[in-house]
C-alpha cells in the first residue's frame, strides 16, 4: 500500500506525543525521511507542512524542522494516558506532568522544585571532582558501601556540632538524596498497612513514598506561617495508632512555613510520649534569611527517636544526589536496608562533596546563596502583590525558595497550569500536594531564578492567564 503524506504526518505526531522527539529537537530531514519511508521528497514535504500547520513543528531556514512547544501535546498526553484507578495515581501523573513540563526547555520554570542551576559553585565542584578522580588509584575507593564515606560523615557531624547538636558519626548514613533518606527511614519504621502522620499540604514525594510502601496517611494541617498544627497533631496521635510521623520543621515545601522555636520542644516531647518516631525532613534548613540557622527538631531529641534527613541538593550540588540521615537508634537497621536496595551512593559524588567542603568555601557560598534568594524573593513578592487579585494570599517565608499562593476558592490551578503552558510558564498546582483536592485553589512558585525582564514577563503572564480564566483584572507591571 502506498504511504500517504497524512500517514507520515500522523506517525511523527505520535512520536512527538510520546516524546521520541522532544521540544527543540530536529526531526529527520526531508531527504532522510524520504529514503526511510520510500516516498518522494515531495510527499515528506507535504507531511512536514501539515505538521507545521498543526503546530507540531516549525521550519527554520536552512536548518530543518524542529519540534515546537505545543499545548495539545500535554493535553493529548493526559487524554491518552491510561485511566488511573486511584486518586494516588492521578497525583503521580500530575507530578510527572509538572516536573517534565518544567524541564522541557520551559522559559519560566516557576513550577520546578529545583533551584536555579546558576546559583551553585559548579566550577569549584568540578575541580573537587577532578582532584578526586586523579587521586583515586585504588579500586576500593570507588565502592564506598553503606553507611557511606567516613570523611563526609565526619564533616556532616561537625556541622551538627557547630549548632550544638551531638550527632555521632555512626548515626549518619549517606543516601541518594534526601528522597532516599526519607524513604529508607519510613521503610525501617513501618510495615505495609501502618498509619503515618504527614502534613497537609505535603511535599508530593511523601505522598508517593507512602503509596509505594502501602502506608495509610493521616494528614495534619499545616499553617502556611507556623507549620504543623500542634493541637491537630495531638488529636491525631490520640485517635490513631501511628507508626511514624514525617514533617518539615524549616521552610516547608510547598508553603515555606517554619515551626516557631517555642513549639519545637513540645512537638518532640509529644511524639516521644506516644512513642512515635519522627522523620524530620530538613532539606531547606541551610537556606535561612535570618542571622542564624534554625534549630532542627533533632536538637530537642533526648531519646534518639528523631531521624533528621538532609541533602546537598538544595544548597550545593543538585544532581549529585547526595543526602544523609542522622538516624538515631535506627542507624543500623537503615544501613542494612540501603545495602539491599540501592547498595550504595556513587562514591565519586560523595568524595567530591567531601573534598569541596574541606577546601573551606562552603560557608561563603551559603551566605551568598541566602542573600541572593532573599533578594529574589523580595522582588517576586513585590511584583506579585501588585499584579494578583487583592483577595490573593501569598506566603513570605523566612527561607528557602518557594512561595505559596492561595487564590479564590473558585480557581482551579490545574487549569491555570494548562493555560500557562503555551507561554512557556509553569507553576506547581496545589493538587500535587494532597490527594483530596483541598489545595486545588493554591499553587507553589519557585523564586530562585534571577528577577530579570523575562521573569517579570512570566509572572505577568500568570496574572493575565488567571484573569482571563477567572475574570479578575490584573495590573501589569513594567
Ligand X SMILES: Cc1ncc(COP(=O)(O)O)c(C=O)c1O
Binding site for ligand X (CB under 6 A): 113, 177-179, 203, 205, 248, 253, 281, 283, 311, 313, 323
Closest CA to 337 of 206, 173, 179: 173
Q: Which residues contact 239 (CB under 8 A, 6 or more apart)?
A: none
Contact call for residues 5 and 43 (beta carbons, < 8 A): yes
Contact call for residues 408 and 391 (beta carbons, < 8 A): yes
**Shortest distance, CB of residue 215 to ligand X, whole angstroms?**
17
Q: Which residues contact 127 (CB under 8 A, 6 or more apart)?
A: none
Closer CB to ligand X, 312 or 423, in the complex = 312
**Shortest distance, CB of residue 197 to ligand X, whole angstroms?**
16
**Shortest distance, CB of residue 184 to ligand X, whole angstroms?**
12
The residue to which cell 512570566 is assigned = 458
Closer CB to ligand X, 120 or 203, in the complex = 203
Closer CB to ligand X, 203 or 404, in the complex = 203
C-alpha span between 323 and 345 (Å, rounded): 9
How does DSSP assign 408-419, residue by residue?
Answer: -TT--HHHHHHH
**Shortest distance, CB of residue 118 to ligand X, whole angstroms?**
18
Task: Classify each residue of 293-324 as buried b or exposed e, where b means 16 or more C-beta atoms within 10 Å of its C-beta.
Answer: bbbbbbbbbeeebbbbbbbbbbbbbbebbbbb
**Shortest distance, CB of residue 180 to ligand X, whole angstroms?**
7
**Shortest distance, CB of residue 397 to ligand X, whole angstroms?**
13
**Alpha helix stretches (DSSP H) within 61-216:** 71-80, 87-102, 122-135, 150-162, 177-189, 204-212
Q: Which residues contact 477 (CB under 8 A, 6 or more apart)?
A: 383, 386, 387, 456, 459, 460
DSSP state of 329: G
H or E segment and range at residue 273: helix 264-273
**Alpha helix stretches (DSSP H) within 103-203:** 122-135, 150-162, 177-189
C-alpha span between 286 and 163 (Å, rounded): 12
Closer CB to ligand X, 30 or 174, in the complex = 174
Closer CB to ligand X, 205 or 217, in the complex = 205
**Shortest distance, CB of residue 301 to ligand X, whole angstroms?**
19
Q: Name 405's bridge partners.
A: 394, 443
What residue is closest to ligand X based on CB? 177
**Shortest distance, CB of residue 115 to ligand X, whole angstroms?**
10
Q: Name 278's bridge partners.
A: 245, 306
**Shortest distance, CB of residue 169 to ligand X, whole angstroms?**
21
Taking only Cα atoms into account, the Rg of the chain, rounded to an integer number of angstroms, comes to 24
Closer CB to ligand X, 21 or 402, in the complex = 402
Closer CB to ligand X, 311 or 413, in the complex = 311
Closer CB to ligand X, 67 or 248, in the complex = 248
Closer CB to ligand X, 388 or 405, in the complex = 405
Amino acid at each position: 500500500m502506498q504511504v500517504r503524506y497524512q500517514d507520515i504526518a500522523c506517525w511523527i505526531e505520535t512520536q512527538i506525543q510520546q516524546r521520541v522527539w522532544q521540544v527543540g529537537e530536529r526531526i529527520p530531514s526531508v531527504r532522510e525521511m524520504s529514503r526511510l519511508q520510500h516516498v518522494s521528497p515531495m510527499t515528506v514535504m507535504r507531511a512536514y507542512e501539515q505538521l507545521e500547520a498543526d503546530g507540531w513543528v516549525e521550519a527554520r531556514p536552512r536548518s530543518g524542522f524542529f519540534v515546537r512547544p505545543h499545548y495539545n501535546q500535554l493535553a493529548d498526553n493526559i487524554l491518552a494516558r491510561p485511566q488511573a484507578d486511584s486518586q494516588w495515581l492521578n497525583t503521580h501523573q500530575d507530578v510527572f506532568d509538572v516536573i517534565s513540563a518544567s524541564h522541557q526547555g520551559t522559559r519560566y520554570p516557576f513550577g520546578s522544585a529545583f533551584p536555579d542551576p546558576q546559583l551553585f559553585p559548579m566550577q569549584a565542584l568540578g575541580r573537587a571532582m577532578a582532584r578526586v578522580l586523579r587521586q583515586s588509584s585504588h579500586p576500593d575507593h570507588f565502592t564506598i558501601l553503606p553507611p557511606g564515606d567516613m570523611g563526609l560523615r565526619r564533616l556532616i557531624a561537625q556541622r551538627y556540632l557547630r549548632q550544638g547538636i551531638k550527632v555521632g558519626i555512626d548515626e549518619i548514613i549517606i543516601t541518594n538524596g534526601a528522597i532516599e533518606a526519607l524513604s529508607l527511614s519510613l521503610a525501617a519504621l513501618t510495615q505495609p498497612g501502618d498509619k503515618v502522620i504527614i502534613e497537609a499540604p505535603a511535599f508530593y514525594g511523601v505522598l508517593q513514598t507512602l503509596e509505594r510502601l502501602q502506608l495509610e496517611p493521616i494528614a495534619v494541617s499545616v499553617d502556611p506561617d507556623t507549620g504543623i498544627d500542634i493541637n491537630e497533631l495531638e488529636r491525631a496521635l490520640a485517635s490513631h495508632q501511628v507508626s511514624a510521623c514525617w514533617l518539615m520543621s524549616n521552610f516547608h515545601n510547598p508553603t515555606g512555613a517554619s515551626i516557631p522555636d517555642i513549639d519545637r520542644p513540645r512537638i518532640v516531647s509529644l511524639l516521644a510520649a506516644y512513642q512515635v518516631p519522627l522523620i524530620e525532613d530538613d532539606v531547606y534548613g541551610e537556606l535561612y534569611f535570618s542571622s542564624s540557622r534554625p534549630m532542627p527538631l533533632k536538637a530537642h531529641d533526648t531519646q534518639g527517636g528523631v531521624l533528621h534527613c538532609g541533602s546537598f541538593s538544595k544548597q550545593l550540588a543538585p544532581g549529585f544526589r547526595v543526602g544523609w540521615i542522622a538516624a538515631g537508634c535506627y542507624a543500623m537497621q537503615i544501613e542494612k536496608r540501603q545495602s539491599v536496595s540501592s547498595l550504595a551512593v556513587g562514591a565519586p559524588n560523595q568524595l567530591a562533596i567531601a573534598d569541596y567542603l574541606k577546601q573551606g568555601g562552603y560557608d561563603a557560598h551559603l551566605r551568598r546563596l541566602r542573600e541572593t534568594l532573599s533578594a529574589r524573593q523580595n522582588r517576586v513578592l513585590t511584583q506579585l502583590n501588585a499584579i494578583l487579585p487583592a483577595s490573593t494570599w501569598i506566603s513570605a517565608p523566612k527561607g528557602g525558595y518557594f512561595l505559596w499562593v492561595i487564590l479564590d476558592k473558585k480557581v482551579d490551578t490545574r487549569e491555570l497550569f494548562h493555560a500557562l503552558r503555551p507561554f512557556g510558564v509553569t507553576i506547581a498546582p496545589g493538587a500535587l500536594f494532597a490527594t483530596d483536592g483541598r489545595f486545588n485553589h493554591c499553587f507553589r512558585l519557585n523564586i530562585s531564578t534571577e528577577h530579570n525582564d523575562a521573569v517579570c514577563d512570566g509572572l505577568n503572564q500568570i496574572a493575565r492567564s488567571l484573569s482571563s480564566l477567572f475574570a479578575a483584572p490584573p495590573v501589569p507591571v513594567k
